[in-house]
Amino acid sequence: MTPHWSDSRIDVHRYVVGPVDNNVFIIRCKETGDALLIDAANEHDKLLEICQALNVRRVIETHGHWDHIQAVPAIRDAGYEVGVTAEDAAMLPSYDFILEDEAVIEVGRLRIHTHHTPGHTPGSMSFSVEGSPLLFSGDTLFPGGPGNTSFDGGDFATIMKSLEDRMFSAFPADTLVLPGHGLDTTLATEAPHLDEWADRGW
């Protein structure tokens, strides 16, 4: 299993699953071998094999949209705890714990920080890894703009505020953004287009 991204402390594995090509990310502490899975999206048999192979301890969801949660029941049945924000919890068939804003989730020696970034959904959450350039943005930020806000619970003004206040103003320009679908980008690549996105309104 070749990592998607790696440094001396962290391996990040990326798997693309389901009918709309969801990214599933696993953050693994090299020192302890413990790991965390972001978004139990689909193809639960595949994800369960990966969870066992990479020593996943728990699962966290970026948000509650159907395409990001299809594997949640099977993952929970296998004994893995699943966390989601309170605002999106009702969108899941089941869950185990609530993700709070500006909390820390420990994975081995790694510290994963939670960032409430609403707009795509009311409870959308992004995650950063302390001491690394990594930002897992869910469907809040993609290469080329913010996530779709035309769904129930979506709000364009809110997602733009999340981007400006909780991403572009809060993280260095060289931050690597790993989104819920598609390829990686950086804040430096996307920041010059904020006004353009605001003008187009989506």
Q: What does the domain layout of the chain look like in residue ranges? A: 5-200
Model confidence at 7: pLDDT above 90 = yes
How far apart CA 65 and CA 78 sit, in angstroms, is: 22
Q: Give 202's pLDDT tier (boundaries 50, 70, 90).
A: confident
What's the predicted TM-score (pTM) here?
A: 0.98
Strands (DSSP E) found in 94-138: 97-99, 104-107, 110-116, 125-129, 134-138
Strands 5-6 and 104-107: unpaired
Q: For the residues 85-103, what does the mean pLDDT come to? A: 98
3-state secondary structure of 164: helix
pLDDT the model gives residue 198:
93
Q: Each residue of 136-183: pLDDT tens digit?
A: 999 999 999 999 999 999 999 999 999 999 999 999 999 999 999 999
**Which has the closest alpha carbon to 7: 28, 22, 23, 24?**
28
- Buried (b) or exposed (e) across 103-123, using 16+ Cβ within 10 A? eebebbebebebbbbbbbbbb
Say which DSSP state 67 is in: G
CATH (one of 3.60.15.10, 3.40.1360.10, 3.30.67.10, 3.40.50.261) for 5-200: 3.60.15.10
Contact call for residues 169 and 191 (beta carbons, < 8 A):
no
How far apart CA 162 and CA 166 sit, in angstroms, is: 5
